[in-house]
Structure 1
């Protein structure tokens, strides 16, 4: 069963972005940038590790660098279900 984004966030996943710099396979002197974004666990980044492993095993462009940033959209303690919504004028 696939989990929803909110379920993943409540489990500790945060939105992670990685800029991957790699060499063009046919022109190794040229660098190319690829931006990867996914919900991942900080600081282990298992989803990013899985993607980089796939890259190394299946793609021809050798990696030069990977820069990672992440941001918690909300923390487990910040989100709760409400029973009512009141509006004051």
Structure 2
């Protein structure tokens, strides 16, 4: 992992997954699922509104709901200094 990747993760960047339910244009009584993944920043998720705006503008399918999951792999609370050294036998 590169240093800039670690720095980005410490600032809140992480894999964001959106489970999007939408009505099928050819069968409006049926729902379809679309999964979207992007590296985004929690809790504001600045990339997601742009994607949803593009969806509304470019795709005929009407959105039903969006469910989010975010994976922060590295957090600042996971880093702590170690002051003791334990010798191995």
Corresponding residue SS for 1:56: helix
Distance 1:32 1:5, change over 3 A: farther
Corresponding residue SS for 1:74: coil
TM-score (norm 1): 0.74
Whichever of the two has the greater Rg, that structure is: 2
Q: 1:38 corresponds to which residue?
A: 38
Distance 1:56 1:5, change over 3 A: farther
- Count of aligned pairs between the two proteins: 79
Q: 1:69 corresponds to which residue?
A: 69
4+ residue segments displaced more than 3 Å: 4-8, 76-79
TM-score (norm 2): 0.74
Contact conserved, 1:19 with 1:36, CA < 8 A, in 2?
yes
Residues in 2 aligned to 1:41 and 1:7: alpha-carbon distance in whole angstroms: 12
Structure 2: any 5+ residue segments left out of the alignment? Answer: 80-87
Q: 2:47 corresponds to which residue?
A: 47
Contact conserved, 2:6 with 2:74, CA < 8 A, in 1?
no
Post-superposition CA distance 1:48-76 (Å, at most 9, x none): 11111110111010000000011101125
